[in-house]
Amino acid sequence: MTSILVLNGPNLNLLGKRQPEIYGHATLDDVADLCRAAAGDVSIRIEQSNHEGQLIDWIHEARGTTAGIVINAGAYTHTSIAIFDALNAYEGPVIEVHISNVHKREGFRHHSYISARADGVIVGLGIRGYAAAVRHIRDLTAEG
Ligand code: DQA
């Protein structure tokens, strides 16, 4: 199991166009480039969906096949017990990423269902948070 799955949830396809004052000008393609560079020779799959069920299907596919998951579930972070359950059915490390510092924002963004499952949480580092998360999982795979 030497591959990393990076999952992006709803509205992240609009990265770079949507509220750039909060999320910056970089696009999801830039995120993918950063993640590929951070993964080095470890294979990596980067996906985005606006649909909760699709994200859950990808998490299920990761069972037994994927060394770790990096997930920015967007607003589903704050609502989705179903994604929490799917991540609990996955055996490997999970790193939760948010581009913005959700704790500086509206109160409804302060609670994350995913944090109760995640092994690490990175918020507020912009898209560089993805690279840090991917590097962490790559390091874990190298440690064996
Ligand atoms: C986000 C934060 C969420 O609260 C929000 O719904 C998003 C993006 C972030 O990356 O900062 O869609 O996950």
What domains appear along the chain, each with residue ranges and CATH number?
3-143 (3.40.50.9100)
**pLDDT reported for residue 68:** 98
pLDDT in tens, 44-97: 999 999 999 999 999 999 999 999 999 999 999 999 999 999 999 999 999 999
Annotated catalytic residue 98: yes
Token digits of residue 106: 């509206």
SS3 for 129? helix
Between CA 3 and CA 120 the distance in angstroms is 18
State which of 7, 78, 97, 98 you would mutate to test the pocket of ligand 1, scoring each by most atoms of that ligand within 8 A of its C-beta.
Answer: 98
Q: Which two tokens stand for residue 66?
A: 């994927």
Distance CA(9)–CA(85), nearest Å, equals: 16
pLDDT class of 1 with cuts at 50, 70, 90: low
What is the distance between the alpha carbons of residues 122 and 100, in angstroms, rounded to a whole number? 10
Residue owning the nearest CA to atom 13 of ligand 1: 74
> What pLDDT score was predicted for residue 124?
98
Q: pLDDT category, 144, cuts 50, 70, 90?
A: confident
110 is catalytic: no
Residue nearest to atom 7 of ligand 1 (CA): 74
Please report, as a single letter, which amino acid is at residue 122.
I
